[in-house]
Chains A and B, each alone.
Chain A
């Protein structure tokens, strides 16, 4: 990636892998909203970037012209790798989504809250009395990895494997096709093994649930189950890890917000929504399958769309004072979990994990700040969040 030429002009040559974009995309999006609300690039074999809420929304709702079959903008167009329902379009989308929904309602997610809290406390105990730690590596990233392992009924130690696959699929794999395909192959083999094991000996986990569930009186094929499990793994981990990390990053830099959240614990739910709005981690993709126009811009078939819910969430036309974090923002129709039929199936899980992670962290470390002597780093690509977050814990 070191050889990438820097973007010459964000409106005609945008590159979300450009270090400036990864570091601080918000001024870039502001500029685009004012100058050229739908940007384009010849990179990635051609892609559009809508920067306004209303255009992101219009495209998310338009499943006729915009397909979800390739959910990530990559340097090349790899063969289609179905991971239903995220890669599904109507009419296949609905049954594939319906199968998963009952396993992710708020009621069901509540049952995973005690284990999530335990995990947070275990991680905090491991940091112990130290005066510094990496909030991303030692805390944020560990939580969703272990929660997902718990839900899937696989060993928590496999988390190292999961993290490598995620980095390979969502970061390195954007430009390195061989790495992407190798990671996909490894994941398919991993889950094929687990599916076979659950058929032989059912458990009480999500894999068993998918093996047994019936849709229109038929069980799911192994390919379908395997794709869905890969989706849950990929989508359930670095998204939430990024969200928790961004919350800690914000609270480390905003003493007023941190103290307010401690003084007014009932603010936690609206605060989580506001963090999700301001630091939405997930950008999805669409592929144009039929020519159409949005906001006067022609979208050509075969081109990709970088569908940035984070950019939509910073649009001042939709969110007054969009760049300010307001913990008790009363009207907050943020799009962090997407809009339309592809609303994130794990949104209730993510919210619970973020809420528990922040509550437990603040109870243990009410005062903390960024370590000025150690740099923090942001991920690049599809999911945005801190990958290294050195913190001083004495405040």
Chain B
């Protein structure tokens, strides 16, 4: 197997302040808790078709709390 990179998103819970931009831009990848703070859905794996949305979510987080990790 070639080393195909897996992209994952992660919300830094310490920095998230609940602007909810990630959820608005990529609801397939992010959800909100009862306080409206963001978190990645499941283990954060980003399907190839949603990579652009993941980057959009990252580029619009005012707290810079959305991380994209390549595994």
Interface of A toward B, CB cutoff 8 Å: 98, 101-102, 104-107, 269, 273, 330-335, 337, 339-341, 343, 347-348
Are B60 and A333 in contact, CB atoms less than 8 angstroms apart? Answer: yes
B27-51 CB contacts (< 8 Å) to partner A:
32, 34-37
Counting chain A CB atoms within 10 Å of each CB, which of B17, B35, B36 scores highest?
Answer: B36
Cross-chain pair count, CB within 8 angstroms:
54
Are A339 and B20 in contact, CB atoms less than 8 angstroms apart? Answer: no
B61 contacts chain A at the CB level, 8 A cutoff: yes
| Nearest-Cβ distance from residue A52 to partner chain B, whole angstroms | 16
Are A105 and B60 in contact, CB atoms less than 8 angstroms apart? Answer: no
B69 contacts chain A at the CB level, 8 A cutoff: no
B13 contacts chain A at the CB level, 8 A cutoff: no
Select one of A104, A334, A341 contacting B62, CB under 8 A.
Answer: A334
B6 contacts chain A at the CB level, 8 A cutoff: no
Q: List 12 A-B contacts (CB under 8 A).
A: A102-B35, A105-B32, A106-B20, A106-B36, A107-B32, A331-B59, A332-B59, A337-B62, A339-B62, A343-B63, A347-B20, A348-B20
Residue of B nearest to A348 (CB): B20
| Nearest-Cβ distance from residue A135 to partner chain B, whole angstroms | 27
Residues in B neighbouring A330, C-beta threshold 8 A? 56, 59
- A124–B36 CA distance with the chains assembled, in angstroms: 32
Known: A269-B24, A333-B62, A334-B62. A343 touches B17 (CB 8 A): yes
Residues in A neighbouring B24, C-beta threshold 8 A? 106, 269
Residues in A neighbouring B35, C-beta threshold 8 A? 98, 101-102, 105
| Nearest-Cβ distance from residue A193 to partner chain B, whole angstroms | 30
